[in-house]
Structure 1
């Protein structure tokens, strides 16, 4: 017994000073037990570390604490993914894992700041393993990518205290709590955590700024996302969603409680197929309050306010120069024929208005973007500008305004405009489409890594600015040959943004005429938003 205690003390001393490295492996002692990762050139990796356990009796609700490791946990599998609504049926319920990239310079005597990445995918697909942190980790920051539940498992929003909604967001909270408790053992500073994400992952980061949970970060990066984007990131709760899913799968149920019981035993791929086949949208929602239940949020995005939280936070936020280009570029005329009026459906999903008013507004928007042209291949850029503004750009600008109103510590705005590695280089005059910046931040599975000298330059600039922000709360603390200018934060009177391209340039008021147009539209119709109405959109 005495020998065992002495051995444990010696192990604690070894692991607490620096991770133990032998034959290409590295071991870290945490309160959960010993975790073994791999040694690489300049950094270590720890893949697939469980931060919580899904309760398989209710996989749609609160998660459980993951038990301590009885043996050394071999952290070498980055491929774990949660059940997916789209593209992949290989997800598993026990999917709540972290992938950690640690520079060799990190130790308990040299704690480094941390970037925590929440992937995009519409809260319906995607995983942490798709985002390799090899580029960013070489800038002396720890990089952590996070899995969280998708679809029904993460975003059922019910009139039920066990599944009140936004479970995927609460998974993210638990991941941040795990990091706060354990990351110092890896050489990370739990007081310097930047949360970041893109698309719906960016919207998730935006929402964390308004959460009812404790503050577990000090900086935030919001890429091509916002709680105000109109692509369905916020929806009205469908309290009958569980009953609909169970009924579709052939179960005769009439109550939510019974529906959840049968769905808990169903194959996740069947649940996700039902979600997909019914075109069911399950994302962020205003949760119903229950006594004794901690809600993530209990209000719609238009009434959220957390100035005491936001004033302590430095924020970097932006979008690509032509977000929705992929929806229209290189499409034949038949695509536009099937599409019909591209303006009316978007407006109908967003504003509760009489049919005549929707048609009038649609005509105004069409004239603003197309003039006298008709929708077709020759208007692909104009149409992508419309959908970019409507779906993403204006929402991001709205978020920026809200940060400034609530006295955010600093707000750095950017536009990613580089198209040297774009799939749409053949489209004359096109900009950077949605996700285009990701290949320059991560070793991203959906794109070839930068290879040409110009692409490598963009990668080095991106990773340097992002890492500087993680370290200092300022993406350009010093002018250098790589980044030869100073990035000025937004203020009440000016909205400078860094245009990220081969020629770096600080500009002001992005798309100002288009944004002014949407400011007028929202000023006129904002109170008719679908989230603020008890009515349903009219059928057209």
Structure 2
């Protein structure tokens, strides 16, 4: 993009970052390299250029999900239609994806986290410019889903974003989920594998990176399936990393250590997950390849579990077999993986990929920080579900990963055109957008109790982890001990005992478990 001198029309979406969607098993590679743009949506601004713009709207910056592999901030998907029923400014962001955004040689040749630094730059841009759009730079909420939710948690830790954000919302993703970080030593191995796939030298970082820079972006993205072993696992080969300690580092400490040491922004945080998160994986396992993946998982569980449930690089190797056996016994109890145990498999993936990471993070926040944490459990089964996108339109998978997006953004207009919103769907839209807006405006999702929100959403106060249970428009309630038996099970196994932290926190690993 060249510079311009006159007024530039910015009423259309820019191109998305180059990518291929592994979660929908898409064959097409789409997007371009010139993609670092953001969209700003405001309430009505005065047309008279001499009229003063009101400068007190709270600001919400959205980081999309997609495993740092796919997605974009474009209006076809993340339109302001629902959220701008409230007096808020919405900013949606593109950032580099896949190896273009997250390749790391674990040294200063390519330290990594390029995509996260794109996000940080968008936060800085908002801080410097949002007043011109009527926004309050001192009331900036960052929010996101899945990898976007984990990104929010990372920004709370990153020195690049410190002081520029005032609240965070992490939907179905925290910095303690097992898919959010490339463990030390693995990132450079993945970089070398990429080099091998593209016939680049791998003897040293400089030669590797110089060769990769000569390759076309589409060639680099097209290697994604060469990393896959079981369906699209191991998922997300290029992720955020702990960088060498240097002035521009986005992340240079173990996330669990940052939380336990209080080395992160102490700001109000909202987080939670959906009741059947694991449908993101299980819908494809059951819906594709005529059951091949289901049989493979059943027959080869002990071999596949560490990789597909993502404790392969955090559990000590001498515990892997025992942990895999305990997981199978706990969720399946000697039963086969088949149609009759589909929801047990969903629970297993839900906990391994999403729920345990939220549970651990909330407990740590409760013990360390003074700012409130608002915990939710989204169990509303609407007219449509993302499980149809993830691989199966014929079976019920419950309330899937990403299903809550339908009630914050009009994603159904693109994805579920043949399934109109129901009356209850519209009520949930009103409830969800009001909760999210209230939190962005005040730091409290229910500053007042009214007819639409007749219950006070209380922050987590005790280790019972009080949470808001959203089941129907007429059935929203406070509860506690969310999935306690399942969370206690994961706390009893050493699935993260191999996570290395500094000496001052190594004695606390058992607390983390």
TM-score range, shorter chain: 0.7 to 0.9
Is 1:484–2:454 an aligned residue pair? Answer: yes
Q: Which residue of 2 aligns with 1:9?
A: none
Q: Is the 1:227–1:234 Cα contact (8 Å) retained in structure 2?
A: no
Give the equivalent residue in structure 2 for 1:402: 364
TM-score, structure 1 length as denominator?
Answer: 0.79
Whole-Å separation in 1 of the counterparts to 2:179 and 2:54: 45
Shift of 1:230: 1.8
DSSP 3-state at the match of 1:116: strand
Structure 2 CA distance for aligned equivalents of residues 386 and 326 of structure 1? 12
The residue aligned with 1:71 is 6
Contact 2:150 2:180 (C-alpha < 8 Å) held by counterparts: no
Q: Name the structure where strand makes up a greater proportion of residues.
A: 1
Cα 1:328–1:245 change in 2 (3 A) is: closer
Unaligned segments of structure 2, at least 5 residues: 47-51, 229-235, 388-392, 503-513
Counterparts of 1:268 and 1:529 in 2: how far apart (Å)? 33
Please give the alpha-carbon distance, in whole angstroms, between the structure 2 residues aligned to 1:141 and 1:342: 48
Measure the CA separation in 1 of the matches of 2:35 and 2:45.
Answer: 30
**Which of 35, 56, 60 is the aligned partner of 1:115?**
60
Asked whether 1:284 is paired with 2:240, we answer yes
Deviations 1:44-100 (A, max 9, x none): xxxxxxxxx8xxxxxxxxxxxxx8641212112225111214445232222110111
Runs (5+) with no aligned partner, structure 1: 1-52, 54-66, 533-540
Deviation of 1:233 (Å)? 4.0
The 3-state SS of whatever aligns with 2:222 is: helix
Name the TM-score, length of structure 2 as normaliser.
0.83
Alignment match of 1:193 (pick from 140, 144, 169): 140
Q: 1:234 to 1:510 in 2, by over 3 A?
A: farther
* Range with greater deviation from structure 2 (277-286 or 378-387): 277-286
Distance 2:193 2:492 in 1: 39
Which of 192, 203, 220 is the aligned partner of 1:271?
Answer: 220
Alignment of 1:293-372 (within 5 A): 293-305=247-259, 307=262, 309-311=264-266, 313-329=267-283, 331=287, 333-340=291-298, 341-342=300-301, 345-347=304-306, 349-354=312-317, 357-372=319-334
Matches within 5 A, 1:14-413: 69-86=4-21, 87=26, 88-104=28-44, 108-129=53-74, 130-213=77-160, 214-231=162-179, 233-236=181-184, 237-239=186-188, 241-252=190-201, 254-279=203-228, 281-290=237-246, 293-305=247-259, 307=262, 309-311=264-266, 313-329=267-283, 331=287, 333-340=291-298, 341-342=300-301, 345-347=304-306, 349-354=312-317, 357-413=319-375
Give the aligned CA root-mean-square deviation in angstroms.
2.6
Q: Secondary structure at the match of 1:164?
A: coil
Between Structure 1 and Structure 2, whose CA radius of gyration is higher? 1
Residue in structure 2 matched with residue 43 of structure 1 by the alignment:
none
In structure 2, the CA distance between the partners of 1:367 and 1:159, relative to structure 1 (3 Å rule), is closer
Runs (4 or more) in structure 1 with deviation over 6 Å come to none
Aligned residues: 460
In structure 2, what is the Cα distance between the partners aligned to 1:135 and 1:120? 19
Question: SS where residue 131 of structure 1 aligns?
Answer: coil
Superposition deviation, residue 274 in structure 1: 2.3
Conservation of the 8 A alpha-carbon contact between 1:310 and 1:406: no
> Structure 1, residues 376-425: CA drift from partner, whole Å, max 9, x if none?
11000111111111111010111111211221411100011011224469
Q: Give the Cα–Cα distance (whole angstroms) in 2 for the partners of residues 253 and 526 of structure 1.
A: 30
**Counterpart position of 1:514:** 486
Q: Which residue does the alignment assign to 2:436?
A: 466
Task: Tell me what 1:36 maps to.
Answer: none
- Structure 1 residues 180 and 248, CA gap change in structure 2 (3 angstroms): same
**Cα distance in 2 between the residues matched to 1:122 and 1:249:** 23
Report what 2:509 is aligned to.
none
Q: Answer yes or no: is the 8 Å Cα contact 1:475–1:487 preserved in 2.
A: yes
Q: Which residue of 2 aligns with 1:500?
A: 470
Alpha-carbon distance, 1:345 to partner: 2.6
